[in-house]
């Protein structure tokens, strides 16, 4: 068991896992995250439990997979505090546990998310979130807000960059107030930034770092290079980001916006880490950095998240502090659900983590849990569920009726060769299918039907399809105090 200390968790939103200098990216500029990785451990294969915001954050809070909770499947089914979180566990054990920034929970009066205090909290709109995500069959309308991704990309300021500056400033103030204090038990602070989530509007000084000759073009972007798969076709019909992209200039402007936001986000991380040191808390506080999910950033003609490719389902993760070997590179696959066990061990809380949540401190020290890491997707743009299982070198992607995919990430980290139809890998495919069914406790089709039944009930409770369509499309959730910008 590690020595009990404070824990600072810094969470970003939609940070593609390779978009860091320390991860070997050719042009991403993340000096503060690079410095954090140099004094700690960088995880090479971390995954989100779901590649979209609201479910990912529910699983992060509870340490449980979505199917294990039977809820929180999409952006219209937000965490309401009814499933126990690590925040509840720490608070009830006498630790101060505070959040600053985006939570994306339900956030209705009376909801108890488990924190001692929530500052500048951003929750889903009206406690309901993205109700259009509940329409997943062939009648699902194209998302009108998708046009804004390309149209707004460029240099400037947005509600999100202003919000992140406020979050960093609030975190600085909170840490200054802790200088010289001697709490009875270690505290935990969650600083949750919202960039590099779109809109792809980056402050000019950051946008200018990434001209066309630097960003080039995304991999497999040309029409003839893109993989064809029915799940991707469904997503493109419902969330048609790329249909609003008109040529190389648009692509490179969007990429400059994204990587400019990564650079901006890194700047805010640096502010928080410097405040921690200035308060004299650096030696008594471990730091964990992660993101809720990744972003495709144009690869294969895909933008946003919602797919099981590494750019989307993968996340960055860095852990630093007492007991963590400096400069370590950890190849064992891990998950955001492991934060529960990590928070317990790091702060000395005795509560047992949910099954399957393993402390990142122990993994950084050499533990190799015998498990497969799971991600699942039941949200906007999907007509049927998608499941990702990562075990060792193998990545298995299973749909309900669509063809499965199999990638050898050791020899093919860019996922260029789908091996699922190769008879030479039939035994591997069969073993991974058995492991997936064992993990789910059922078959993918049965779980898919159960999820859709829950979504149908939520849709009916909100007036049905016509009422949800009339409500409109919200491209992204507004920060506190900002009115929603609906696309009708």
pLDDT in tens, 460-473: 999 999 999 999 89
Residue 477 lies in a domain: no
CA within 13 Å, CB half, 464: 1
Q: pLDDT at position 486, please? A: 80
Q: pLDDT at position 170, please? A: 98
Residue 487 banded pLDDT, cuts 50, 70, 90: confident
Residue 378 lies in a domain: no
Q: In whole angstroms, what is the distance from residue 426 CA to residue 310 CA? A: 23
In the predicted model, what is the mean pLDDT of residues 394-408?
98
Say whether 64 sits in a helix, a strand or coil: coil
pLDDT in tens, 248-281: 999 999 999 999 999 999 999 999 999 999 999 9
323 closest CA partner among 353, 279, 359: 359
Q: Which residues contact 432 (CB under 8 A, 6 or more apart)?
A: 372, 389, 391, 394, 396, 406
Residue 488 banded pLDDT, cuts 50, 70, 90: low
Write out the DSSP string of 341-372: HHHHHHHT--PPPPTT---HHHHHTT---S--
Q: What is the CATH number of the domain that holds 156?
A: 3.40.720.10
pLDDT in tens, 321-366: 999 999 999 999 999 999 999 999 999 999 999 999 999 999 999 9
Q: pLDDT at position 171, please? A: 98
In the predicted model, what is the mean pLDDT of residues 236-240?
95
This prediction has a pTM of 0.98
Residue with tokens 């749909």: 399
Residue 36 lies in a domain: yes
N- to C-terminal Cα distance for the chain? 54
Q: pLDDT at position 199, please? A: 97
Q: pLDDT at position 485, please? A: 84
Q: What is the count of structural domains for the chain?
A: 1
Residue 141 banded pLDDT, cuts 50, 70, 90: confident
Phi, psi of 45 (to 5 degrees): -130, 60
Write out the DSSP string of 7-34: EEEEEEES--TT-SGGGT-SS---HHHH
Q: What is the mean pLDDT of the chain?
A: 97
Residue 187 lies in a domain: yes
Residue 405 lies in a domain: no
State the residue range of the domain holding 161. 6-371
Residue 419 lies in a domain: no
Q: In whole angstroms, what is the distance from residue 203 CA to residue 165 CA? A: 11
Share of the chain above pLDDT 70, in %: 100
pLDDT in tens, 285-318: 999 999 999 999 999 999 999 999 999 999 999 9
Residue 348 lies in a domain: yes
Q: pLDDT at position 475, please? A: 85
Q: In this predicted structure, which of 80-89, 204-213, 410-419, 474-483 has the lowest mean pLDDT?
A: 474-483
Q: Which residues contact 138 (CB under 8 A, 6 or more apart)?
A: 383
Residue 315 lies in a domain: yes
Angle (CA) 435-436-442 rounded to 5° is: 115
């Amino acid at each position: 068991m590690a020595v009990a200390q404070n824990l600072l968790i810094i969470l970003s939103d939609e940070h593609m896992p390779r978009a860091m200098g320390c991860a070997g990216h050719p042009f991403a500029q993340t000096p503060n995250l690079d410095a954090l990785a140099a004094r700690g451990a960088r995880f090479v294969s971390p995954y989100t439990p779901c590649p979209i915001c609201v479910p990912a954050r529910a699983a992060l809070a509870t340490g449980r997979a979505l199917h294990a909770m039977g809820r929180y499947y999409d952006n219209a089914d937000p965490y309401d505090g009814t499933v126990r979180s690590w925040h509840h566990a720490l608070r009830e054990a006498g630790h101060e546990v505070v959040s600053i920034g985006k939570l994306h929970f339900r956030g209705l009066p009376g909801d108890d998310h488990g924190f001692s205090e929530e500052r500048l909290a951003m929750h889903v709109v009206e406690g309901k979130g993205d109700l259009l995500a509940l329409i997943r069959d062939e009648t699902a309308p194209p998302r009108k807000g998708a046009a804004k991704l390309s149209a707004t990309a460029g240099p400037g300021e947005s509600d999100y960059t202003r919000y992140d500056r406020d979050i960093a400033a609030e975190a600085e103030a909170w840490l200054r107030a802790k200088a010289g204090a001697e709490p009875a038990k270690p505290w935990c602070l969650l600083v949750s930034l919202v960039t590099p989530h779109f809109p792809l509007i980056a402050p000019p000084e950051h946008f200018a770092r990434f001209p066309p000759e630097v960003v080039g073009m995304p991999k497999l972007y040309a029409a003839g290079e893109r993989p064809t798969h029915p799940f991707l076709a469904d997503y493109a019909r419902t969330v048609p980001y790329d249909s609003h992209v008109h040529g190389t200039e648009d692509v490179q402007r969007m990429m400059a916006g994204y990587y400019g936001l990564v650079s901006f986000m890194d700047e805010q991380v640096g502010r928080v880490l410097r405040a921690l040191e200035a308060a004299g808390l650096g030696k008594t506080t471990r730091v964990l950095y992660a993101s809720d999910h990744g972003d495709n950033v144009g690869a294969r003609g895909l933008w946003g998240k919602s797919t099981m490719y590494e750019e989307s389902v993968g996340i960055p993760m860095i852990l630093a502090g007492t007991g963590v070997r400096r400069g370590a590179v950890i190849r064992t696959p891990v998950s955001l659900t492991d934060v529960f066990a990590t928070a317990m061990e790091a702060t000395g809380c005795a509560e047992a983590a949910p099954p399957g949540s393993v402390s990142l401190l122990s993994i950084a020290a050499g533990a190799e849990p015998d498990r497969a890491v799971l991600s699942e997707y039941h949200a906007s743009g999907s007509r049927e569920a998608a499941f990702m299982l990562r075990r060792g070198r193998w990545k298995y992607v299973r749909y309900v009726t669509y063809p499965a995919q199999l990638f050898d990430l050791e020899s093919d980290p860019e996922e260029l060769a789908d091996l699922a139809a190769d008879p030479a890998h039939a035994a591997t495919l069969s073993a991974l299918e058995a492991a997936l069914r064992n993990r789910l406790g059922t078959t993918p089709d049965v779980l898919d039907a159960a999820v859709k039944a829950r979504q149908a009930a939520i849709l009916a409770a909100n007036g049905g399809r016509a009422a949800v369509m009339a409500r409109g499309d919200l491209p992204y959730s507004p920060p506190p105090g900002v009115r929603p910008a609906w696309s009708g």
